[in-house]
Structure 1
Amino acid sequence: MEKFYRLLDLLTRHHRAVGMSILSLLTAGGETIFSNIVFQCPCNSTWNLPYSLSFFICPALVLFLLAYVLSSKVGRLITGCCARDQGDTSGSISHKADPGQCSRMSKCCQKLICSRITLDAALAPVTWIAVALLGGIYYECAASATEWASKNFCQGQMPHCSEKLMQMPCQKKSPENSEEIQRTLKLLRAKSQMYGWILITVVVIFIMLVNCCKFCTSQVSFLQHKFLKIYEKQENEILTAESKRYATELAERNVKCFFEDVYQESVRIPGAAEWKEISVVIEPTDTAYSALHDYATHRPRENAYQNPDSN
């Protein structure tokens, strides 16, 4: 049992790496299923290349966009960026947009593009493309209809060599010219696998450089960086638990008020401005590990003597 808890603690501490590994395995498995079951090369001069490219690009693009859609950090960055700042809501309605609206939008977009979110979102698409290149099936079909393949495999051959080359992906198991077909397809598959390993190498080197730059330019020490990670995890867990508790209390109060006509003490729920303050994404510093930490550091004194039953 003790070993189980150690394993669970290890998985918890390295949940990010474990999650990325599982996502990569699922993406690789999905690509294998697609290439073996769904993909059927048309063996046509018009459709070989676009059909194969669609299996390279479209699933990768879908995975990339899904990663953005499902990312909570993206939601925190872009929520309210395009909204009008109502300011005083006592009755006067402003017909002009907030002057700082465009600047807030540009800051949100800048953070969205330059943050680590993009790197995380690119993991699944890159995995898909790399596995597809290592398999070689898509590349065989795409390359068989290109001028490069005709120049390299049809020099000095019969006039209809190009048409025959396009049919090769559909004739893998054909007894006619089996050796010639297999030899040509092996060359195409080898080229595809070479591109796949080059892509993997470039991505690994890029990730290594990004991490090196991140640590080299870090304003905090290594141990403090680890502490910030622990704090972020604990803050999220406690905030989720407390939000659930307060939401339950508020729901119970309102339901009892409706069914039993019984008035209970108000449950203090932060206002929209306070939620907005703790929802922003900030760079951790010595004085503010997160937006919630910054809020708790600067707000208690001015709110300490306010009546919590303001709702």
Structure 2
Amino acid sequence: MESFKTVMQLGVKHQTALGYGALSLLAAGGEQLFSMVVFRCPCNAWSASYSLVFLLVPALVLLLLGFLLSTRTWRMLTGCCAPAPGVRKRRCRFRLIGLLAASACVAPLTWISVALLHASYYECLATGEQPLAPAWLRERLCQGREATCLQELHLMPCLRNAAAEEVLRYLRAESQVMGWILIATVMSLALICMCITRCRSPVSFLQLKFWKIYLDKEKQMFEIKAKEHAAKLAERNVQSFFESTRPDPFHTPSIREWQQISSVYAFNANGQHYSMIHKYVEAANRHSSIKSAEGDGFPPVLMFVDGDEIGDAAI
């Protein structure tokens, strides 16, 4: 339990600096640890199910963890069940969910790729029993071998004879080829998507660098001012309580104002705003909604505005 808490704290601490790259490293290291220390093929009717669980369930956990550690997830979900969200707002949310899902898939795909390269799970899965282990694969492995091969196939990961080693070598090579194909495919798609998002970027390369510097400074200033404001409000309330006096007037942002600056950032070419706070303070009418306007969009290249640092290594 302590180890799990340490990993969670590490993931949260380095989310902004490393993004989902930290989860990818966690997935690669975790797979090596699991395959060497935890995973032991049972070599019986449970072989296929057991290996499939080790291959897919950690990938699912990493996918959910990717959503969990995303600031944009909580910006989007907080208050999303408020009355009358509107058709356009729902459509925007679906697009954002797609972007989040694509980003969160990095760590699960890393786990599956490393697992295929290590080949332990695939060896156990392919030699298991039907229906999880395909009949055509089992027949191919036993082609040209003894008649008892199909009955003894599930025992091969636990055997150390020459016949078993030959089958396992074949499965190991097949698994590693699939692993490299998956890695090459994912990297190619990532490169294509990054090129497309950069080509469709509404702002230039240097403005993106300035934008990230501004957001970093704004976050620092917000935390400083929020602590000062909270300290003054707490001091006023505690002093009023102990002295039994009416508190002095003290302005603090309203619920509506907090909702305005906490919503998901949408880019609009008609206004050069670098964050929701920037958009709010420059609004002509602060009593009107700044959450959505005609011409708003969600360029993937600007996902970092809400705290998700996906694909920022190129900046």
Q: TM class by shorter-chain length?
A: 0.7 to 0.9
- Offset at residue 24 of structure 1 (A): 2.3
Q: Return the index of the structure with the highest Cα Rg.
A: 1
1:82, 1:32 → 2: CA distance?
Answer: 41
Please tell me whether residue 66 in structure 1 is matched to residue 59 in structure 2.
no
Alpha-carbon distance in 1 for matches of 2:111, 2:55? 8
Q: How big is the alpha-carbon RMSD for the aligned residues of Structure 1 and Structure 2?
A: 2.4
Partner of 2:143: 155
Equivalent residue for 1:308? none
Q: Which residue of 2 aligns with 1:38?
A: 38
> Higher relative CO (CA 8 A, sep ≥ 6), structure 1 or 2?
2
Residue correspondence of structure 1 range 256-271 to structure 2 within 5 A: 256-271=239-254
- The reply on whether 1:81 has 2:69 as its aligned counterpart is no
Of the three residues 184, 200, 203, the one matched with 2:183 is 200
Residues 237 and 148 from structure 1, CA distance in 2 versus in 1: closer, same or farther, beyond 3 angstroms? farther
Q: How much has 1:262 moved relative to structure 2?
A: 4.3
Q: Distance in 2 between matches of 1:252 and 1:35?
A: 55
- How far, CA to CA, are the matches of 1:302 and 1:23 in structure 2? 41
Q: Are the aligned partners of 2:261 and 2:276 in contact in 1 as well (CA < 8 Å)?
A: yes
CA gap of 1:267–1:71, structure 2 versus 1, over 3 A, is: farther
Deviation at 1:208, TM superposition (A): 0.7
In structure 2, C-alpha distance between the alignment counterparts of 1:148 and 1:61, rounded to whole Å? 28
Is this contact kept in 1: 2:114–2:179, CA < 8 A? yes
Per-residue deviation, 1:105: 3.6
The offset of 1:212, in angstroms, is 0.6
| Residues in 2 aligned to 1:242 and 1:28: alpha-carbon distance in whole angstroms | 40
2:168 to 185, 197, 208: 185
- Any gaps of 5 or more consecutive residues in structure 2? 1-13, 289-315
Contact 1:246-1:267 at 8 Å conserved across structures: no
Q: Distance in 2 between matches of 1:287 and 1:74?
A: 24
Specify the code of the residue in structure 2 equivalent to 1:109. F
For residues 263-293 of structure 1, give each alpha carbon's deviation from its aligned partner in whole angstroms, at most 9, with x where no partner exists: 4533321111111111122234452222111
Question: Is the contact between residue 117 and residue 179 of structure 2 (CA under 8 Å) also seen in structure 1?
Answer: yes
Aligned to 2:283: 298
CA contact (8 A) 2:24 2:106 kept: yes
Q: Say whether the 8 Å CA contact 1:130–1:196 is kept in structure 2.
A: yes
Report the 3-state secondary structure (helix = DSSP H, G, I; strand = E; otherwise coil) of the residue aligned with 1:298. Answer: coil
In 2: Cα distance, 1:235 partner to 1:156 partner = 69
Alpha-carbon distance, 1:18 to partner: 3.8
Equivalent residue number for residue 88 of structure 1:
none
**1:237: Cα distance to partner?**
2.0
- The aligned amino acid for 1:244 is K
Distance 1:133 1:28, change over 3 A: same
TM-score (norm 2): 0.77
**Structure 1 pair 203/64, CA: closer, same or farther in 2 (3 Å)?**
same
Give me the whole-angstrom Cα distance separating, in 1, the residues matched to 2:237 and 2:39. 55
Q: Is 1:134–1:197's contact at 8 Å kept on the other side of the alignment? A: yes
List gaps (5 residues or longer) in structure 1.
1-13, 85-97, 304-311
3-state DSSP class of the match of 1:82? coil
Can you list the C-alpha shifts for 1:68-108, whole angstroms capped at 9, x where unaligned?
Answer: 12222111111111122xxxxxxxxxxxxx3x455534432
Partner of 1:87: none
C-alpha displacement of 1:157: 2.6
Question: Relative to structure 1, is the Cα distance of residues 186 and 251 closer, same or farther in structure 2, using a 3 angstrom cutoff?
Answer: same
Report the counterpart of residue 23 of structure 1 in structure 2.
23
Count, aligned residues? 268
Distance 1:189 1:156, change over 3 A: closer
Distance in structure 2 (CA, Å) of the matches to 1:243 and 1:299: 24
> Match of 1:9?
none
Q: Deviations over 1:231-277 (max 9, x none)?
A: 22222222222222211221222122212324453332111111111
Structure 1 278/161 Cα, relative in aligned 2: closer, same or farther at 3 Å? same
